[in-house]
Amino acid sequence: MMKTVRAAFLTTLPVMTGYLAVGVAFGLLLQKSGYGVAWAALSSVLVYAGSMQFVLVGLLADGSGFVAVAMVTLFVNLRHFFYGLSFIDTFRAMGRRRPYMIFALTDETYSILCTAKPPEDVDGKAYFFWIALLDQSYWVAGSIAGSLAGSLIPFDMTGLGFAMTALFLVLLVEQWEAFRTHEPVFVGLASALGAVLVFGRGNLLLPALVTIVVVLLLMKKRLTREAYAPPTPPAPADGPEAGGAP
Q: How far apart are CA 66 and CA 240, in angstroms?
A: 41
* Contact call for residues 48 and 104 (beta carbons, < 8 A): yes
Contact set for other proteins, span 31-60 (CB under 8 A):
35, 39, 42-43, 46-49, 52, 56, 59-60
Q: How many residues does the chain have?
A: 246
Query: Residue 98, class by beta-carbon neighbours within 10 Å (0-12 exposed, 13-18 middle, 19+ buried)?
Result: middle
If you compute the radius of gyration of the chain from its CA atoms, what whole number of angstroms results?
A: 19
Is 217 a binder of other proteins (CB under 8 A)?
yes
Which DSSP helix (H) or strand (E) runs through 94? none
Among 102, 148, 149, 210, binds other proteins (CB under 8 A): 102
For other proteins, the closer of residues 4 and 17 by Cβ is 17
For other proteins, the closer of residues 198 and 224 by Cβ is 224
Is 114 a binder of other proteins (CB under 8 A)?
yes
Is 206 a binder of other proteins (CB under 8 A)?
no
Residue among 240, 239, 234 nearest 112 (CA):
234
Longest CA pairwise span in the chain (Å): 58
Among 4, 31, 111, 136, binds other proteins (CB under 8 A): 111
Among 197, 218, 229, 245, binds other proteins (CB under 8 A): 245
Q: How far is the CB of 147 from other proteins (least distance, A)?
A: 14
* Contact call for residues 204 and 192 (beta carbons, < 8 A): yes
Contact set for other proteins, span 61-90 (CB under 8 A):
63-64, 66, 69-70, 73-74, 77-78, 80-89
Contact set for other proteins, span 126-185 (CB under 8 A):
156, 158-160, 162-173, 175-176, 178-179, 182, 184-185
